[in-house]
Every structure is written in structure tokens, then in C-alpha cells.
């Protein structure tokens, strides 16, 4: 089963913050030379969610949420159309 896209507005504020915090603190997500605070990273991702640049994807098989780009989400939806279950 391919991932489902979850509107961020459907999550409680605490759940959304927890998801975003988990996303920004994962190993390998900090590539810059300049140290950026956790709060700044969270605010950046929240802005991206609100603008639609990124979306929340839930993989039912793995019971796992991730934040992906809108482009990746469109590719997932296109694959679902081409290969329905």
C-alpha cells in the first residue's frame, strides 16, 4: 500500500509539533555550516507545511509518518493512478 497524504490541519498542535520535531532531529538532516536552532528548524518546516511546499505522508504498512516535498507527493499520487491496487 502506498503512503497516504495527511493534511497537517488534521493533527493536534502537539502531535504536529512532535512530528515536525522528530523530522528535524533525525540523523542526517543538518547539512549546513551554520548552526540553526531546533526552534528555527521547526518554524521553517511549519512554514513549508502551511505554504504547501511539503506534506505529511503516512505509510500504513510501516506505520510511519514522514514529511516529504510536494513534488514527491505528486509522484506518489501519479504512481497510484498508474498502478492501482
CA 53/CA 45 separation, integer angstroms: 9
Burial class (CB in 10 A: 0-12, 13-18, 19+), 19: buried
- From first to last of its 85 residues, the chain has per-residue pLDDT tens of 578 889 999 999 999 999 999 999 986 656 667 888 899 999 999 999 999 999 999 988 888 899 999 999 888 778 766 666 5
**CATH number of the domain enclosing 62:** 1.10.10.610
Number of domains in the chain: 1
CB atoms within 10 A of CB 83: 8
Inter-helix orientation angle 38-51/13-25, to 10°: 120
- Host domain of residue 44: 4-82
Amino acid at each position: 500500500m502506498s503512503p497516504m497524504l495527511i493534511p497537517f490541519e488534521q493533527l493536534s498542535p502537539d502531535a504536529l509539533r512532535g512530528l515536525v520535531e522528530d523530522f528535524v532531529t533525525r540523523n542526517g538532516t543538518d547539512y549546513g555550516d551554520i548552526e540553526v536552532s531546533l526552534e528555527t528548524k521547526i518554524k521553517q518546516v511549519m512554514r513549508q507545511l502551511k505554504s504547501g511546499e511539503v506534506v505529511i505522508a503516512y505509510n500504513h504498512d510501516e506505520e510511519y509518518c514522514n514529511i516529504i516535498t510536494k513534488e514527491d507527493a505528486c509522484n506518489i499520487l501519479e504512481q497510484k493512478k498508474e498502478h492501482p491496487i
